Copies of this chain bind each other. A is one copy, B any other.
Amino acid sequence: MSLLDASLIADIPLFQGVARQDLVELLSKAKSERYVKERTIFNQGEDAHSFFLLLDGHIRVVRITPEGEQVIVRYISSGELFGIAHALGLDKYPANAVSAVDCVVLSWPGAIWKSVSEKFPAFTANTYKTVGARLQEAQDKVVELATERVEQRVANAILKLANQTGKKTEDGILIDFPVSRQDISEMTGTTLHTVSRLLSAWEQEGIVKSGRKKITVIEGHKLAVLAGGDQRS
């Protein structure tokens, strides 16, 4: 892709340890794509035709149950891989990917995963590190869902979003893409009603400030207390 400048993206942790010329070659095999917000990049169950690197924006990865309920598995931030079914030995995407905002994405044909992974070991190693980290995260989430109550889970989800993608404003830390109450509920296994009630209560106490698809964390430490060992008697 002549439009891509390797020096702009060499800093991505994913390319740590990858030689500059390997990086150039890797990028030459990729295609750059733009998605306006709320566009589907791929669907669960679909043939895994490509794997992706998010260059700019935020992407929501969603699983849909047979009953039609949605669960948000994670948000992808820029610099992260997604849709790497091939690296996991899958031939179908296990989830949907949807742009939460306008996005720029690099895509490689899935068919070249094998040759790429053989040719660029540093890249491959970083990829598997990512996979390892995600396995960790997923298991953390299992533990959280199995042991913590809704209030803690919601507090934790908001904290994570704020840490992952927070932007400083004069009010506090703003999650810099649109997140609805429903989204939060789909991240935490609850309902939008409960999330709304919690946010209202927290706003009363000055812990957060929230609006339509917008959440600002004012007192992160108080949220952290709610997320962690909140002992009630």
Using C-beta atoms within 8 Å of the partner chain, give the interface range for chain A: 35 or more
How many copies altogether?
Answer: 2
For chain A residues 89-108, which have a beta carbon within 8 Å of chain B? 89-90, 94-95
A135 within 8 A of partner (CB): yes
B136 touches A65 (CB 8 A): no
| Residue of A121, A139, A147, A186 contacting most chain B CB atoms (<10 Å) | A139
A147 touches B89 (CB 8 A): no
Question: What chain B residues lie within 8 Å of A128 (beta carbons)?
Answer: 87-89, 128, 131
Question: What chain B residues lie within 8 Å of A121 (beta carbons)?
Answer: 118
For chain A residues 126-179, which have a beta carbon within 8 Å of chain B? 128-129, 131-136, 138-139, 141-143, 145-147
A171 to chain B, nearest CB (A): 31
A11 within 8 A of partner (CB): no
Q: Which of chain B's residues has its CB closest to A84's CB?
A: B132
Q: Given known contacts A94-B139, A147-B189, A228-B66, is B89 in contact with A132 (CB within 8 Å)?
A: yes
A95 to chain B, nearest CB (A): 8
